[in-house]
Structure 1
Amino acid sequence: MEKISIRSIQEKDNKALADLIRSVFEEFGSEKQGTVYSDPTTDNLFEYFRKEKALCWIAESDGIILGSCGIYPTDGLPFGCAELVKFYLSPDSRGKGIGQQLLHKAIGSARELNYTQLYLESFPEFGKAVSMYERLGFNHIDHSLGNSGHYACTIFMLKDL
């Protein structure tokens, strides 16, 4: 069994992580404007996560990035709320519990940073991820929160911590 480590994002991860994220969007036919796919910050995620109370966890094995999951204090969110962001897994990493490890790590980190809620945005194309969010206690809400700039998203969810 491969050894998987979960660690904080590093500057050297920028290109591989941007490539992984965009490949997931392409895999699901979701390469749309108004999403992470077209967001210019996707190419410099290490810098993006250098904001106070923001973090991104990377799952890797033998130097290869398998996935990521972060929390971010998106502008315009209610007090105490952060956004769950950049949760993506490579196709061969799915179904092995890696996504759950990343999500639990991000949720635990949000609690440690004294957030009281987590918000996320997604698409119907990412149905398996949405099902996982539901199992972890995220509830659907009927509108977006905050100013992520990802106006193409159609699924909005919120979890009390």
Structure 2
Amino acid sequence: MSKAPILIREIKTEDDAQVAAVIRDVLVEMGAPKVGTAYADEALDIMTATYAQNDRAYFVVDDGGKIIGGAGIAPLENFEDAICELQKMYFLPEARGKGLGAKMMAICLEKAKSLGYDKCYLETLPYMTDATKLYATSGFQNLDGPLGNTGHYACNVWMIKTL
């Protein structure tokens, strides 16, 4: 039997536990703090409900029923302009190096444009070098400080892209 293709699709309720585990596992793997990062977000355990509103979306990488990555966009918290935030973009080791990050980025940015956002903001950690490289290749530029108030005070790399 041939293996089913890897799909990028919108999140479903039954994905919530797997998505939370992916995000927490990657953050632990990368040595990220558990406080001040997505690890401690209350939304992590209820991702489908969190992204169910019309101004946001979350996508998963589904490898035959196993979630191996995900990313989403939502309005930038505590900010007035039409800026969204690229959120919770994490991939397990088996998803890396296959071009899935670039595909996910394209899907998220296209969704952001379709929702009427002018810019996309993100926060990351300096030692997440592969992610930072992908962001720069996708047209994100470094900022000198954070925008809004995401609660991710441990993240000290801030980037933005005009859509």
TM-score for the superposition, normalised by structure 2: 0.94
Tell me, yes or no, if structure 1 residue 92 matches structure 2 residue 91: no
Deviations 1:21-77 (A, max 9, x none): 000011111133111011121111111112331000111111011211100113222
Partner of 1:36: 38
AA aligned opposite 2:76? T
Gaps of 5+ in 1: none
Q: Which runs of 4+ in 1 moved over 3 A?
A: none
Backbone CA RMSD of aligned residues: 1.2
- Counterpart of 1:124 in 2: which secondary structure? coil
AA aligned opposite 2:109? I
Partner of 1:66: 68
Identical residues among aligned pairs (%) = 35
Gaps of 5+ in 2: none
Superposition map of 1:111-130 within 5 A? 111-130=113-132
User: How far apart, in 2, do the equivalents of 1:157 and 1:78 lie?
Assistant: 17
Partner of 1:141: 143
Bigger drift between 116-125 and 48-57 goes to: 48-57
Contact 1:69 1:87 in 2 (8 A): yes
User: How far apart, in 2, do the equivalents of 1:78 and 1:95 lie?
Assistant: 36
1:156 deviates by: 0.3
